[in-house]
Amino acid sequence: MLDVEAIKVWFPIRRGVFNTVAGYVRAVDDVSLSIKEGETVGLVGESGCGKTTFGRAVLGLEKISSGAVRFQNQDLSALRGKQLRTLRRNLQMIFQDPFASLNPRLTVMDLITEGLAEHGLLGQESRKQAAARLMLEVGLDPEGMCRFPHEFSGGQRQRISIARALSLQPKFIVCDEPVSALDVSVQAQVINLLLDLRRKHNLSYLFISHDLSVVRLMAQRIAVMYLGKLVECGSCEQIMTDPQHPYTRALLSAIPLPGVRRSSRSQHLQGDLVASPAPGAGCAFRSRCPLALPVCARVIPKLCAAQGRTVACHALAPSSQGVPE
């Protein structure tokens, strides 16, 4: 359904009186990913690694510096006007903050049905009927459709955001940390709702999160991102039970488990975090990696097949030479 081919999203750093470009922040750097119909792919990584920028770039909300995004074999960057408008009905997003993403001046009815009215898809339904139908689908009482977002709880506001995303009957939804701002009990309710909607409407999700325990419930495949690059991709079972990349191992060791002392299983990362590595400067993770080789300082690792998944690591590649630094 969705093919992302080597996209880059670079933001220029401007300095001086003449506002000249002194460098770039490489938020997303040469990332490729495919998502099948009805599949959920989890995108995980620490804060600031480029997950949200990647999700926004897929939907065209961020300008892509290079690469291509194809939805059902159509290049989104090549479409204009009516063609792009028609296709974008199938691409929606659920934002992280359910309060900031809702217009406080609009009622719930207007928020949910705004897209339907804009695209002329109401048909024989009135806005009130459409809002009631969508609110019932996400577990909300339609009697509250004339209320404003601030009159709802955080979990209810996120359900409103989900209803808005569903209104145009999309095929693909980017879920940008949709439960991170919610209480644990409400998180479970929203996760179950997303799973039910996926089965009912055969939806495809890109589920962005820094919480691997949540991603494990949602995703069939997991992609791990570090400083704008994918370092490991594989099935959910492979990544959660047998991680290969040292960064993935460190992420998994940080998940709290009941009855297990954290110090007995944590893998603390040493070294300094590189803010934005220069092109050709080798592996961005090498300063924190316990498996670093001399080649890591010279050559950027590429995703290669390793034990049933793809991993970007010289130490795990069959052709790697040398000894750890």
pLDDT tens digits for range 280-296 = 678 889 888 888 899 98
CB 281 within 8 A of CB 296: no
pLDDT of the residue at 39:
96
Instruction: Give me the sign of the Cα torsion angle 54, 55, 56, 60.
Output: positive
pLDDT of the residue at 261:
61
pLDDT of the residue at 259:
60
The mean pLDDT values, 10 residues at a time, for the chain of 325 residues are: 94 91 90 95 92 94 93 87 86 91 94 92 89 95 95 94 95 94 87 95 95 91 94 94 91 74 60 62 86 89 86 78 43
Residues contacting residue 183 through CB under 8 Å, at least 6 positions apart: 154, 155
Compute the distance between CA of residue 205 and CA of residue 36 in angstroms, rounded to an integer: 9
pLDDT of the residue at 210:
86
Residue of 169, 212, 217 whose CA lies nearest to 194: 217
Compute the distance between CA of residue 25 and CA of residue 12 in angstroms, rounded to an integer: 6
* N-terminal to C-terminal alpha carbon distance within the chain: 42
